[in-house]
Amino acid sequence: MKILHTSDWHLGRSFHRVSLLDAQAAFLDHLVATVHDHEVDVVLVAGDVYDRAVPSLSAVQLFDDALHRLAAAGVPTVMISGNHDSARRLGVGAGLIGRAGIHLRTDPAHCATPVVLGDAHGDVAFYGLPYLEPALVKDVFKAERAGHEAVLGAAMDRVRADLGTRADTTRSVVLAHAFVAGGEPSDSERDITVGGVAAVPAGVFDGVDYVALGHLHGCQAVTERVRYSGSPLAYSFSEAGHRKTMWLIDLDATGAITAERIDCPVPRPLARLRGRLDDLLDDPALDRHVDSWVEATLTDPVRPAEPMARLAERFPHTLSLAFEPDRAPDDPQISYAQRLRGRDDQSIAEDFVAHVRGGYGTDEPERTVLRGAFDHVRVDDGVHEVDR
């Protein structure tokens, strides 16, 4: 069985205020063409179909068009909701849409009810695990605690239990939207940290033939059988080095897989430039970036005059400009943002407590309270976004 694994479409998302709708439409054209050209048997979309819980009309139209084209091609599609999607909205009409071969899995309670498709070698059971927000689904799975590993583990226990009732020849595929340990993140994924831990071990998925992951935007293999397709487009400059692809998975009669990367269209390359303004404007080696979307970080000791306008004369698609003057690490003028770069909310809050106490830091009970407060704010914000 040939499986096309994709995820993280983020329909409706822009790139530094530049609309990506045309680029997303081109990707969907490419997706449908790939289905025909490679005689794909099933398409998987592992979450984050939309970029926000209440998508724009233009994003919904793109999604609707893609579903009609896949249904017209007679190719079953299995998709789950991600942490950016509203599971309730995405799942509206799932029963009716399923009759056309488009199988939406957005309800955590139904994660052990697979879409069963067959080929010449027998059945393949596709289990859809939508994004599982621990605080919201803990009771659904009767998990011992509200953590990603706990709820995913409980969901996978149900999957394995169902699989155990099926014929020994049944092969299995799981779709999940999660941060699996060993995956390489980028700046454009929304933080899903709970209790200080976001990542779950790959071993939580043991017992199935292939795991189609979504959430991280770089295409990567955590293990031979556990893979991220990554997003089809770059959604931050941290993805400048990514090769945007989909996985074409060939699942044989024994459950063994072979994997091939199918490249996605690139609307415009990304370039991250760093240096003094005059050097960036004069260096002939940078001519290759004239047509790229550019992120420029200027290191001039003194901020130059009209830097954006001057950069745009040479690099007309400059979208981001930052200043990091060359200074010694202990220079008091180093910006607050620079001092905080790469640090999470928890460590920043703990340092603040130590600062106001004159150097006396937090103890474990206080750190637990802080973690709980951050988790509560994040979960509460996510619930309100879904309800809006």
* pLDDT given at position 345: 82
* pLDDT given at position 367: 82
Cα 231 → chain centroid: 6
Q: Are 104 and 98 in contact (CB under 8 A)?
A: yes
* pLDDT given at position 365: 82
* pLDDT given at position 287: 97
Sheet of 115-119: strand order equals: 115-119, 122-129, 171-177, 210-214, 226-228, 220-221
* pLDDT given at position 380: 56
Can you name the residues that pair with 213 across neighbouring β-strands? 176, 228
Cα dihedral angle (350, 201, 8, 378), rounded to 10 degrees?
-30
- Reading the chain (388 residues) residue by residue, the pLDDT tens digits are 999 999 999 999 999 999 999 999 999 999 999 999 999 999 999 999 999 999 999 999 999 999 999 999 999 999 999 999 999 899 988 888 999 999 999 999 999 999 999 999 999 999 999 999 988 888 898 887 888 888 999 999 999 999 999 999 999 999 999 999 888 887 777 766 654 557 889 999 999 999 999 999 999 999 999 999 999 999 999 999 999 999 999 999 999 999 999 999 999 999 999 999 999 999 999 999 999 999 999 999 999 999 999 999 999 999 999 999 986 555 555 555 566 666 778 888 888 887 776 666 888 888 888 877 877 766 555 544 444 4
Kindly report the number of other CB atoms within 10 A of residue 307's CB atom.
Answer: 18
What's the number of CA atoms in the CB half-sphere (13 Å) around residue 27? Answer: 27
* pLDDT given at position 349: 83
The predicted model scores a pTM of 0.83
Residue 220 DSSP symbol: E
128-43-242 Cα angle (round to 5): 95
* pLDDT given at position 332: 56
Domains of the chain: 2-263 (3.60.21.10), 270-326 (no CATH)
Would strands 293-298 and 318-323 be described as parallel, antiparallel, or unpaired?
Answer: parallel
3-state helix, strand, coil in the chain (%, to 5): 35, 25, 40
Q: Are 106 and 94 in contact (CB under 8 A)?
A: yes
* pLDDT given at position 378: 62
Cα dihedral angle (168, 170, 171, 174), rounded to 10 degrees?
-110
Which DSSP string corresponds to 17-34? TEE-HHHHHHHHHHHHHH
